[in-house]
Amino acid sequence: MKKGQLLECVGFGLLSGLLIGCMALIPKEQFPRWINHTVLDVFLYLFAVILAGRIRAILRACYDSLQNTPPSNGRFLIMLFMPNIAGDALLGDLEERFHIIARDPDLGLRRAHFWYWFQVFLSLRPLVWAGIKRLTGLAALWEAIRKTVG
Amino acid sequence: MPTSQEKSSRQPVDSLGSFEQWLLTAVMTLGPNRAYGMTIHEEVERLSKRPIVSLGAIYTAIDRLEKKGFVTSKFADATTDRGGRPRRYVEITAAGQRALHYALDQAAAMTAALRPAEA
């Protein structure tokens, strides 16, 4: 998180707390006559919407600044099922394309993350299947059947 | 009717699946210095018009073809953009080219056989 964002977050939080505190502490009888329940509710609703929007924007900025690298959990999953130099090359290809998508102004970091996870999940099926065949000797059996049958 | 000797001289030991044919075609069109995982993936998507092809499938198919002796691969060019990870460059062998041409001949024979029936 950048210093400016942190200050903005703290400042907005303090201001919000102050306003909500004042509204909760001051009895409704002491409000001017034109402030009735409906006006107060509309005001509170708008305030909540603005507050939620600001928090969302700040969180998104923090997330984007932190996540300009490919997801480590995705890397872990690939290395789990392809723990060799080929798996390393596969991760390199994913990372190369991740940065290309992230740098594209039309696509961006969010799309890059989505593409990365999408490719990890798509890649798991053939990798797991290849691993199962290798471990159980099914590959050799399948090849023998193919060569016999033609 | 071809004899078994004629048949064995023309037919490669291992046949190719549809995906493997696309992969070998992509490797051939890219050439040995440009064919690595990412470019092969893009080329297979472009040529086969399949919208979704997984990189994992490309790598397992390369492993399979390498075991059959249809391609060779080498690891090189570990750049910072790739997190220091190498590229896997793939090159088609003579046996791979033969197998691909055999598969294409088979497809052409099937097309020719179907054409009079369609007309």
> 35-94 in A: which are within 8 Å (CB) of B?
70, 78, 82, 85-86, 88-94
Please report the pLDDT score of residue A84 as a whole number: 82
Distance in angstroms (rounded) separating the CA atoms of residues B107 and A150: 17
Please report the pLDDT score of residue B6 as a whole number: 47
Q: Which of A78, A85, A96 sits opposite B38 (nearest CB)?
A: A96
Chain B contact present for A145, CB below 8 A: no
Does the predicted interface ipTM exceed a cut of 0.85? no
Q: Which residues of A touch B36 (CB under 8 A)?
A: 89, 93
Which stretches of chain B score pLDDT less than 50?
Answer: 1-9
Which DSSP category does B81 fall into? G
Please report the pLDDT score of residue B1 as a whole number: 46
Domain ranges of chain A: 3-66, 72-149
Q: Which of B37, B54, B85 sits opposite A126 (nearest CB)?
A: B54
Chain B contact present for A16, CB below 8 A: no
* Residue B99 structure tokens: 């197998």
Please report the pLDDT score of residue A65 as a whole number: 58
Walk me through the domains of chain B, giving residue ranges and CATH numbers: 15-118 (1.10.10.10)
Tokens 């507050």 belong to residue: A51
Query: What angle do the packed helices B37-48 and A85-103 form, to 10 degrees?
Result: 70
* Secondary structure (3-state) at B3: coil
* 10-residue mean pLDDT series, chain A (150 residues): 64 71 69 64 75 77 68 83 85 91 86 90 86 73 69
Inter-chain residue contact A92 with B54, CB threshold 8 Å: no
Q: Which of B15, B60, B82 sits opposite A92 (nearest CB)?
A: B82
Inter-chain residue contact B36 with A119, CB threshold 8 Å: no
Q: Residue A94 to residues A63, A70, A124, A136, B22: CA-CA distances in angstroms? A: 20, 8, 13, 29, 21
Please report the pLDDT score of residue B24 as a whole number: 93
* Residue B31 structure tokens: 């050439």
Inter-chain residue contact A126 with B83, CB threshold 8 Å: no
Inter-chain residue contact A91 with B83, CB threshold 8 Å: yes
How do residues B20-39 score in pLDDT, each as one tens digit?
999 999 999 998 888 998 99
Please report the pLDDT score of residue A92 as a whole number: 92
Q: Which residues of A touch B63 (CB under 8 A)?
A: 86, 130
pTM beyond 0.90, yes or no: no
Under 8 Å CB-to-CB from A32, ≥6 apart: which residues?
none
Distance in angstroms (rounded) separating the CA atoms of residues A12 and B78: 46
The CA distance from B119 to the nearest CA of chain A, in Å, is 32
Q: Which of A92, A126, A146 sits opposite B57 (nearest CB)?
A: A126
